[in-house]
Amino acid sequence: MVRSVAATALAPDLLASQPFIHRQGRLDVRIAASEAEIAAAQALRYHIFMGEMGAVPTPEMIACQRDIDPYDSVCDHLLVIDHGIDGAPHVVGTYRLLRQVVAEQHQGFYSAGEYDLTPLLETAREGGQLLELGRSCVSPEYRNSTTISLLWRGIAAYLEAHNIGYMFGCASLPGTNPDAHAAELSWLWHHHLAPPPLRARALPGHHVPMERIPAGRYDPRAASRALPPLLKGYLRVGAMVGDGAFVDRQFNTVDVFVVMPVAGITRRYLDRFSANDIS
């Protein structure tokens, strides 16, 4: 519960003068504008990734009780804030956003540690920059349509502001056994494989084949239903997957690369979450 994670709380006056993208009830979505907001997002990530998902924290993470890495200092952090908890606002959802122009000025993209991004980088030269989505998490009691809608509103505003051509990142399946997700991985391979110009491939030595069961030998509807909600959401806006899964033992996940051409995102999502609708 968020109420047990005091580090997700923020001083009300810290946010009072900061702009938000959209507000619904006592929740709003915004880009973090202070170190305190980023620290609160890191605390929420620690609570979810280490406490709930079984990720293995580094000694530094344990010491500060936050999920931290060098990318945090160069990324933008999208936050959903609940202003009605214990009289103080709390971060209850977050995404980490890394634009190509920023990545190229620093250590590159986080996903490059798992996937060869060469095809995507070459394609992106033709127009519109890349945006890497990562470190997404929502507190358990906020995993509902309201919070998800706010996150997508925030992403839509960001796309509009920065001329993004493609979004990409890794979506995670729980655990480190690919065979436990054989049907889901196979279904993704058979139905949502990206074309070669967008098809990132898991790095040599880590590549896990996704076509684990031949087409027709599993229930496609059951495989689709078994996917995590975040990955289902990506597919609804036109996501495609890369070549190969990647087993992330630190975060206790089987990762799948996803890429979403912004121009091809389902029309109803652009209409629903366009910048003109954000106030």
Residue pair 112/203 in contact by the 8 Å Cβ criterion: no
In the 8-state DSSP scheme, what is residue 80? E
Give this prediction's pTM. 0.92
Of the listed ranges 86-90, 203-207, 226-230, the one predicted with least confidence: 86-90
Reduced 3-state DSSP string for 255-274:
EEEEEEEHHHCCHHHHHHCC
Confidence of residue 233 (pLDDT cuts 50, 70, 90): confident
Average pLDDT, the chain: 91
pLDDT digits (tens, 9 = 90+) for 140-160: 999 998 999 999 999 989 998
At residue 222, the pLDDT reads 98
Rounded CA-CA distance 220/211 in Å is: 13
pLDDT digits (tens, 9 = 90+) for 149-194: 999 999 989 998 998 999 999 999 999 999 999 999 999 999 999 9
Alpha carbon of residue 223 to chain centroid: 21
Q: Is the pLDDT of residue 34 over 70?
A: yes
At residue 269, the pLDDT reads 58
Confidence of residue 273 (pLDDT cuts 50, 70, 90): low
Q: State which of 3-17, 85-99, 208-222 shows the largest mean pLDDT.
A: 208-222
Q: Is the pLDDT of residue 276 over 70?
A: no
The structural domains of the chain, ordered by start, are 2-277 (3.40.630.30)
